[in-house]
Amino acid sequence: MPFETISFSVERGIARLTLNRPEKLNSFNTTMHGEVREALARVMSEGARVLVLGGAGRAFCAGQDLTDRAVAPGAAAVDLAESIEQHFKPLVLALRRLPVPVVAAVNGVAAGAGANIALACDLVIAARSASFIQSFCKLGLVPDSGGTWSLPRLIGSARAMGLALLGDRLSAEQAAQWGLIWRCVDDAAFPEAIEALATQLAAAPTRGLARTKQAIYESWERSLAAQLDIERDYQGELGRSADYAEGVAAFAAKRTPVFSGR
């Protein structure tokens, strides 16, 4: 059956998941949480080799819909905690654990949980008119959806504190300069840039990319010596893959490799 709050498709190895509540700036309600969860569960079963997460209309995502029953003003504080535990925490972890690259295509404002969901993706490309806002402080809340974890790791404590305590709008261009995101591109070039990146990643050696993202994300938990061991183990595993054999053969023959993702 068609989705109500998102669109989802897989074509040529590219999965596209678009948040589709433009009248609400693609903010999450209970229905959207369920539909996103279902779509993410289908990414691998439908043969995708990259996921592009985007937003319909003029926004990427404004975070949680505060008019949703579960978190409406006056609701018990436990409802906020339950929303994080049941919805946002599994979503962020699912994006990080997908064994394919995940690209956030930030076409407009990414606020609150919407900003931090984008930062949970592997690569973030934003249109020049887009912006990022840690709006939690305006509501007396703490950044969630991994914000307190990702912000200091990406841009350092001083800038993380400034964004989290002041809730200022950060332009896409500044976000790229700070290293918060991968790239900022002109609005006119944004669709083409997303398509080119998705096409490149869909044709890449998928298993190698999956192990690369896993190694980088888990490196925070290890010593250098332990990380060197992980790199050794992954190289040993990947060195027996079909993609490695194809890469070496293509290099020797001076041709473009055709990776199968295996």
- What is the set of domains in the chain, with CATH numbers? 6-202 (3.90.226.10), 206-253 (1.10.12)
Q: In the prediction, which pLDDT does 79 show?
A: 78
How high is the pLDDT of residue 96? 96
Q: Pairing relation of β-strands 14-19 and 50-55?
A: parallel
Taking only the tens place, the pLDDT of each residue in 100-139 is: 999 999 999 999 999 999 999 999 999 999 999 999 999 9
Q: pLDDT grade, residue 67 (50/70/90)?
A: confident
The pLDDT, as a whole number, for residue 58 is 95
For residues 81 and 195, the model is more confident at 195
**Predicted confidence (pLDDT) per residue in 215-227, tens digit:** 999 999 999 999 9
For residues 25 and 109, the answer to whether their CB atoms sit within 8 Å is yes
pLDDT at 1: 64
pTM: 0.93
Query: How sure is the predictor about 149, in pLDDT bands with cuts at 50, 70 and 90?
Result: very high
Q: pLDDT class for 80, splitting at 50, 70, 90?
A: confident
Task: Flag whether pLDDT at 72 surpasses 60.
Answer: no
Q: Are 48 and 17 in contact (CB under 8 A)?
A: no
The percentage of the chain sitting over the pLDDT mark of 70, rounded to a whole number, equals: 96
Predicted confidence band at 75 (pLDDT cuts at 50, 70, 90)?
low
pLDDT above 90 (res 14): yes
pLDDT of residue 71: 53
Arithmetic mean of pLDDT over the chain: 95
pLDDT of residue 73 exceeding 80: no
The candidate with the shortest Cα–Cα distance to 116, out of 190, 188, 60, 183, is: 60
pLDDT given for residue 70 in this prediction: 54
Residue-level pLDDT at 151: 98
Q: Is 175 exposed, middle or buried (0-12, 13-18, 19+ CB in 10 A)?
A: buried
> What would the pLDDT profile of 238-253 be if each residue is shown by its tens digit?
999 999 999 999 999 9
- Positive or negative torsion for Cα 197, 203, 209, 210: positive
